[in-house]
Amino acid sequence: MGMKRTGFGIAVGATILLASTFAASAADLPVKYKAPPPDPWNWAGLYGGINAGYSFGRDTFDQALPNLPAGRFQDGPGRILPTGGVFGGQLGYNWQIERWVLGLEGDAQWAGQRDPGCGGFECIQNFNAEVGAALVRHQVDWFTTLRGRLGYANGGYLLYVTGGAAWAGIRETATLQFDDSVASATVKNVVAGWVFGGGIEGRLSGNWTVKFEYLHLDFSPTTTTTRLATPAGLLPFDETNVVRSHVTDNIVRVGLNYRLWNAQATAPAPIDPAANAWRWTGAYAGLNGGYGVGNTSFKEFKYFDPVAPPLFGELTHYISSFAPQKVSPQGALAGGQVGYNWQINQFVVGVEGDAQWSGQKDTACAMSCFTAGGPVETVTQRYNWLATARARLGYAGSGYLLFVTAGGAWAEIEETDVFSGAAVYTSNFKQTKGGWVAGGGVEAWLSGNWTGKIEYLHFDLGSINHTFATTDQTFPTMGTQSTVRNDVIRVGVNYRLGG
């Protein structure tokens, strides 16, 4: 508890110090501003554009070799966490009735997401290079969506939710390795599913608009059966391999649209003069909620003494994961933020700090995870809380703010490692980790002193090395080494306290 309070106190203290210092200096600086005249912009019509962004998937899989004499089936989930860039275009049509906007949009995207998962039922390497490993790799080549949109227009921006159907091309590669005998097979699947999300779109100039949005894609589970065979190596094999997987994806992207054709059925709703006159300078505070998807890469270890030479005839002096394995804590977030902004013409600089409760948690298979007489080993990881202290840099449009943000981050991470040996050994521990965070989003004026925002943050919290002693004479020491990342999407409301 002491470590937890110390880390949390550092985060909150840094936030208060940054905000108060910046507010004191900014309050003495004069700002001259003249609101532009109202512009009756309307969203109705046909539009097209391009977009680019970042994707972070969380795929669950299990693997089986059913034709082995005893069979070998995975007990518990494995994780594949494909991440990468996305790029594509969209075409859509909007209808506007007063301030309400209905629309239909389709997009097609190239995707650079890929990731290997090790430990379908085994991911073991001995000190003498003996290997028993099952690996599955997912590569998202493309995806496309067809969605409805429902939005509320205010000022020069549009708040909207969106949902519909989605399709994707997934390249799945299964690999088996027993010592130096290796075989792989690749299958291309087209999967269908659903998509849901939301965002903010704002007018730039003329018929040009810019948007920031988040999409969650969930595809139907697949079962892929392949033949994995090789005559080479010390342990040649010919096996039927079955992989069951469930692919999900999270997309954060920015886009640029051009309205190709105006189709105004009713008179446009004039832009609220208060939105044009809104200024971002001042202190603010608010609440937020959202969702986080963690990306932790880990290796497990069992050893007698990793630097001592093996004993005569010894086969299991030192064992580790053959390749990095993954666990992905996901769940809801809730918290609050305080900050201060300073606006110069259309540019905004500021500082912001936040503290979050987190419900992110996940359990994944580790070195060995099969039911046919083998041991079952798992890693469970969760986030108890998150905190950041960040700078913000933004561009202010008519009632909205596009911003990027970066700074320091802290989190309390709780982990439970379960190992098998002469008995089952369990180790539970907590660590407060510090690192960095970067992201961006859009904030929009709502009414009075109230604003709303949607933002994405990527956390890098460094590495965790954990070892513990056991009563196992063969492996008296066990442990894990991991690198901890987290991706968060959240919405929030702020109230400007003064400025």
What is the residue-wise DSSP string for 49-61? EEEEEEEE--EEE
For residue 52, pLDDT beyond 50: yes
Residue 8 binned pLDDT confidence (cut-offs 50, 70, 90) = very low
- Confidence at residue 14, expressed as pLDDT on a 0 to 100 scale: 45
Ranges assigned E (strand) in 317-375: 318-321, 325-327, 330-344, 347-358, 361-369
Token pair of 172 as six digits:
């799945």
Q: Region 87-113: what's the mean pLDDT?
A: 95
According to DSSP, the residues that pair with 340 across neighbouring strands are 283, 351
According to DSSP, the residues that pair with 38 across neighbouring strands are none
State how far Cα 239 lies from the chain centre: 35
CATH assignment of 44-276, among 1.20.1070.10, 2.40.160.20, 2.102.10.10, 3.40.50.1100: 2.40.160.20
| Torsional sign, CA 19, 22, 24, 27 | negative
**Contact by Cβ (8 Å): 484, 433:** yes
State how far Cα 476 lies from the chain centre: 36
Distance between CA 188 and CA 83 in Å, rounded? 18
Domain ranges of the chain: 1-30+278-499, 44-276
Q: Between β-strands 157-178 and 330-344, what pairing exists: parallel, antiparallel or unpaired?
A: unpaired
Q: Label residues 42-52 b or e (16+ Cβ within 10 Å = b).
A: bbbbebebebe
Q: Of 128-142, 157-171, 281-295, give the lowest mean pLDDT range.
A: 128-142
For residue 306, pLDDT beyond 60: no
For every residue of 370-438, DSSP letters joined together read BSSS--EEEEEEEEEEEEEEEEEEEEE-SSEEEEEEEEEEEEEEEEEEEEESSSEEEEEEEEEEEEEEE
The 3 state secondary structure assigned to 131-144 is: EEEEEEEEEEEEEE
Q: Of 46-55, 192-201, 202-211, 400-409, give the lowest mean pLDDT range.
A: 202-211
Residue type, 5: R
Distance between CA 55 and CA 213 in Å, rounded? 12
Q: Label residues 343-358 b or e (16+ Cβ within 10 Å = b).
A: beeeebbbbbbbbbeb
Token pair of 193 as six digits:
């599913």
- Confidence at residue 368, expressed as pLDDT on a 0 to 100 scale: 83
Residue type, 37: P
Identify the CATH number of the domain defined by range 1-30+278-499: 2.40.160.20
For residue 403, pLDDT beyond 60: yes
**Contact by Cβ (8 Å): 157, 201:** yes
- Confidence at residue 121, expressed as pLDDT on a 0 to 100 scale: 80
Distance between CA 162 and CA 29 in Å, rounded? 42
| Nearest Cα residue to 223 out of 253, 191, 248 | 191
pLDDT in tens, 432-455: 999 999 999 999 999 899 999 999
Distance between CA 173 and CA 228 in Å, rounded? 11
Residue type, 283: A
Same fold, 1-30+278-499 and 44-276: yes
Residue 22 binned pLDDT confidence (cut-offs 50, 70, 90) = very low
- Confidence at residue 21, expressed as pLDDT on a 0 to 100 scale: 44
Mean pLDDT of the chain: 87
Q: Which one is predicted more confidently, 69 or 353?
A: 353
| Nearest Cα residue to 411 out of 379, 384, 381, 437 | 384
**Contact by Cβ (8 Å): 297, 482:** yes
Distance between CA 158 and CA 146 in Å, rounded? 19
Model confidence pTM above 0.95: no
